Amino acid sequence: MTAVLLRDVRRFCTPRLVMLMLGCLLFSLAKRKGFSYSYEHFVLHMLSDHYYITFFMVPMFLYIIYSHLEDDLDYVLIRIKKFPRYFAVKSAAIGVNISIFVLLQLAVILAVGLGLPGGSGFPPADTQDSSIEVLLILGGYFQYPWQGSALTVLHMVLGLSVLGSSFMAMHHFFEKRWVAIITVGLFFLMVYAMKSKIPELTRIPFLFINNYIIFMYNLTFPYSFWVTYISLGMIAGGTAFWICRYWNKELKWQLKWRKPRGVLPYYGAQLFSAANAGILIVLIVLLSLWKWPQLQNLTGGTGTIADWMVYTFWGHGHGYFRPSDFLAMMLMNSAPVCLIAVFLQREWMDHSTPLTIRLASKRQWGCSVVGISSLFLLTYTVLLTAGSLLFPSFTGLPAGGVTILPGIEISLSKLWLYITAMKGLELLFQFLCMLLIFLWSRQVTAAFGGIVLMYAFYFLPYGWTQYVPVGMSSLSQHQVFAAAAEPGVPALSGQVIFLIMGLLTIILALYILIYGYKRRFR
């Protein structure tokens, strides 16, 4: 057992560690230049530097771990007899290797920092220097910088050791290329969580590994240590369970999907075509490019991601008329419904006897059309709202609350959830309403035109027009946002909007699936 551990440690001590130390030396020298605080501050600042950790240390860790993976040696397994015991020794070796990995970097940082003045405390909390924001955060939890440095090192060793052992377990069950795909995916998610400046992302365990490696991230929200260490324990426990219980099983990515029956796959191929996907993606990009300069002019370049979401999904309210907002709202809401209208027109023209024979019942036609169209609208809604988050994330907008409207206190995650839910519900209502008109009139153009004509109610100077469902997902029709932007504009509360949209959608869906679908075959 000791021989296996020592062999793994010797295999780990390769020239790759020299590359690690040289990279750490370059980053440390760059940080050391112009650093005007104490030696202890420099060490803690380097150990918590998420740019260094994310873009150099983690890639080196993944590269070394990946190159260190090897197939289990038969003669070693025969001598040890029990594979869980062999895996435990290999995991202990990973713990030793990770300790060497982290301590070598600590030694380089300590050496580079020599010559800086000593200091036992943290900078004052009212310091305006933004470059030491990390030190100010840590200063709220520790009395001395060396305490933060010690815990940062221990946390990093623990997190990297558990991750390394889990990667080794993946390699035992899966092919090496799958381990590479998973590790690269985790790295890109880590980079995105840091660059997006959305703190909520790093709070998601398992998918985002930032909190397992960078100690400082666990100080940014309540109960973070519970989430981090419980999820780390779940990873370690799950790894141990699979190794102890299924070590002799070979897992393969061979999932047997039940092939859809009936007309559902036929309709899905038409709606989820490359042309439709291209149209919607181009629309989302054009809307983002249209809204971006307007927001920059409005905020003077000081907006947040929440401001971007509010401005992009502001829409149009009642009692006034702004052409650009009205056009953006119509394009955003009508584009996917228009594509479904084209699909219905094609289905009406191409419907044939062989296609009817494939139906188990007439109701299957209604369920298939409603189901695949709802999935199409849900996909578009998530693509629209999530895609709208990517644009400001990559342009460097900070994550924060709403600043363009006074008195609005809502987190970015809640804002995104509200926009996504309301937008999806409104699009589903518009589709069901269009389908109902189509079933009664047999005219797709009239059905889609009826939905578009509903927007004409925005031009009427009556208070009851605020209850018209089309466009109701716009933030300008939410009472809180409308009052903050322009007091006196008619608007409804979020609960009333959800109630109206939900009831109308349920009523239309029940009618079409219980009775309305029969009109298609008359």
- Here the contacts of 31-34 (C-beta below 8 Å, separation 24 or greater) are 32/112, 32/113, 32/116
77 or 89, greater pLDDT: 89
Residues 6+ apart with CB under 8 A from 321: 458, 459
pLDDT of 272 strictly over 50: yes
pTM exceeding the 0.75 threshold for the entire prediction: no
Range name among 126-140, 192-206, 243-257, 277-291 with the lowest pLDDT average: 243-257
Instruction: Check whether 75 has a pLDDT greater than 70.
Output: no
Least confident of 188-202, 215-229, 469-483: 188-202
Lowest pLDDT segment from 118-132, 253-267, 294-308, 317-331: 253-267
Residue 257 has pLDDT above 50, yes or no: no
**Could you tell me which residue, 321 or 165, shows the higher pLDDT?**
165
* Cα→Cα distances 104→19, 67, 91, 99, 513, Å: 11, 19, 20, 8, 67
Ranges 44-48, 69-73, 296-300, 504-508: which has the least confidence: 69-73
Average pLDDT taken over every residue of the chain: 83
Tell me the average pLDDT across 321-346: 87
Tokens of 89: 């020794």
Better-predicted residue by pLDDT, 377 or 196:
377
Higher pLDDT, 148 or 124: 148
Q: Where are the domains of the chain?
A: 1-247, 263-520
Q: Which residue has the tokens 């939410």?
A: 478
User: For residue 21, which of 144, 131, 135, 106 has the smallest C-alpha distance?
Assistant: 106
**Which tokens is 375 given?**
């999935």
Residues 6+ apart with CB under 8 A from 162: 212, 232, 235, 236
DSSP-derived secondary structure for 16-57: HHHHHHHHHHHHHHHHHTT--S-HHHHHHHHHT-HHHIIIII
Residue 198 binned pLDDT confidence (cut-offs 50, 70, 90): low
pLDDT tens-digit map of 383-400: 888 887 777 777 777 777
Phi first, then psi: what are they for 470, rounded to 5°? -65, 135
Confidence at residue 476, expressed as pLDDT on a 0 to 100 scale: 84
Structure tokens at 248: 């002799």
At residue 88, the pLDDT reads 87
Specify the pLDDT at position 345: 87
Reading the block at residue 427, the tokens are: 């699009």
Higher model confidence: residue 322 or residue 371? 371
pLDDT at 61: 92
pLDDT at 255 over 50: no
Query: Bridge partners of 492?
Result: 478
Q: Three-state secondary structure along 290-320?
A: HHHHHHHHHHCCCCCHHHHHHHHCCCCCCCC
Calculate mean pLDDT across residues 319-324. 76
Q: Which two tokens stand for residue 53?
A: 């950790």
pLDDT for the residue numbered 71: 66
